[in-house]
Amino acid sequence: MATEEHALTASEYVVHHLTHLNNTGHAQENIVDWSVINIDSMFYSITLGLLTIFLLWRAAHKATSGVPGRFQGAVEVMVEMVADQAKGIVHSAESRKFVAPLALTVFVWIFLMNAVDLVPVDLLPRIWEGVYAAGGGDPAHAYMRVVATADLSAALGMSVGVLLLCIYYNIKIKGFSGWVHELFTAPFGSHPLLYPVNFAMQMIEFTAKTISHGMRLFGNMYAGELVFVLIALLGSTATVFGFVGHVFAGTLWAIFHILIITLQAFIFMMLTLVYVGQAHESH
């Protein structure tokens, strides 16, 4: 980006950083457009997803009941942690067979996707610009966002997945009619006048759960990414103050962000368990 830097204003730099690489080649114009797909988000989430299951599979493949190695021990600690949480929240051993592994995958996967945020903000986009330019493209249009969880579509995709799971378990545990009955009679009680109110409340509850679940992750990671971009902008002033500020603020924010990425991965996992657990309980 060094050759381009002088041509970019600060706002152009930020906008460039926050534009997805998608199948259209330019920034998405409508708020919702189902014909567009973000190639960068898909690339990073699938790559890290494969890395996640590869690491877990390796640990599982070598797992013995004997003395565990460090890697196996680390994976076992996570498995134990997730299994304990799942046992406390989802009171159905049958459901746990799927929900607990799902929670583990989600935790590791989201952690890795979040952790890409700690890679210097310009490193991966700069490499992509080089590749794009070498392929004959205009580097100014070489968009690349590396944090898949800072993509609203990706974060909501996962929370919608959890919503579908909740609906599935609601129907599986209570039966379709039982669930519909619950939709109209809970939380206020069984009275014809209350049916619409109850149903509205239930819809609001499901919507709020799903939106907040995805938005919480997205918001944290988007804000974190933006702060890293702004800190990089501070460094780009090429003054002593800018340099010292960049090093100081960048270090501080990165250290703080280690907490955020782990915490957000943990929160997403816990809420997945909590929501699925609620789907098992009758109001």
Partner 1 sequence: MNLNATLIAQLVVFFILAWFTMKFVWPPIVKALDDRAKKIADGLAAADKAKADLTLAEKKVVEELRKARESAGDVRTSAEKQASHLIDDARAEAGRIIAAAREAAEAEAGAAAQRAKETLRDQVAHLAVAGAEKILRREINAQVHSELLANLKQELQ
Active site amino acids: 212, 216, 220
User: Smallest distance, Å, CB 72 to partner 1?
Assistant: 8
Per CB under 8 A, 158 contacts partner 1: yes
Q: Residues near 17 by Cβ (< 8 Å), separated by ≥ 6?
A: 121, 125, 145, 225, 229
User: Smallest distance, Å, CB 71 to partner 1?
Assistant: 12
Closer residue to partner 1, CB minimum distance, 121 or 163: 163
Q: Would you say 56 and 111 are in contact if contact means Cβ atoms under 8 Å apart?
A: no
Cβ-defined contacts of 77-80 (< 8 Å, 24+): 78/104, 78/107, 78/108, 79/104
Interface with partner 1: number of residues (CB under 8 A): 54
Phi-psi category of 142—alpha, beta or left, where left has phi over 0 and alpha has psi -120 to 50?
Answer: beta
Per CB under 8 A, 57 contacts partner 1: yes
Site for partner 1 in 161-200 (CB under 8 A): 161, 164
Closer residue to partner 1, CB minimum distance, 5 or 94: 94
What's the Cα-to-Cα distance from 253 to each of 6, 121, 260, rounded to whole Å? 26, 13, 10
Per CB under 8 A, 279 contacts partner 1: no
Q: What are phi and psi of 33, to 5 degrees?
A: -150, 105
The interaxial angle of helices 176-185 and 152-174, nearest 10 deg, is 110
The residue from 5, 12, 25, 63 that contacts partner 1 (CB under 8 A) is 63
Closer residue to partner 1, CB minimum distance, 89 or 158: 158
Closer residue to partner 1, CB minimum distance, 76 or 182: 76
- Coil, strand or helix at 112: helix
- Coil, strand or helix at 12: helix
Q: Binding segment for partner 1 among 1-9, 39-47, 123-131, 194-202 (CB under 8 A)?
A: 39-47
CA distance 40 to 44: 6
Per CB under 8 A, 264 contacts partner 1: no
Per CB under 8 A, 109 contacts partner 1: yes
Per CB under 8 A, 242 contacts partner 1: no
Per CB under 8 A, 154 contacts partner 1: yes
Per CB under 8 A, 220 contacts partner 1: no
Q: Which residues pair with 2 in a beta bridge?
A: none
CA distance 132 to 78: 39
Number of CB atoms found within 10 A of residue 7's CB: 9
Closer residue to partner 1, CB minimum distance, 149 or 198: 149
Per CB under 8 A, 85 contacts partner 1: no
Query: Could you tell me how many residues make up the chain?
Result: 283
CA distance 203 to 195: 12
Closer residue to partner 1, CB minimum distance, 162 or 234: 162
**Where does this chain bind partner 1 (CB under 8 A)?**
22, 28, 30-38, 41-42, 45-46, 49, 52-53, 56-57, 59-61, 63-66, 68, 75-76, 79-80, 83, 97-98, 100-102, 104-106, 109, 148, 151-154, 156-158, 160-161, 164, 222
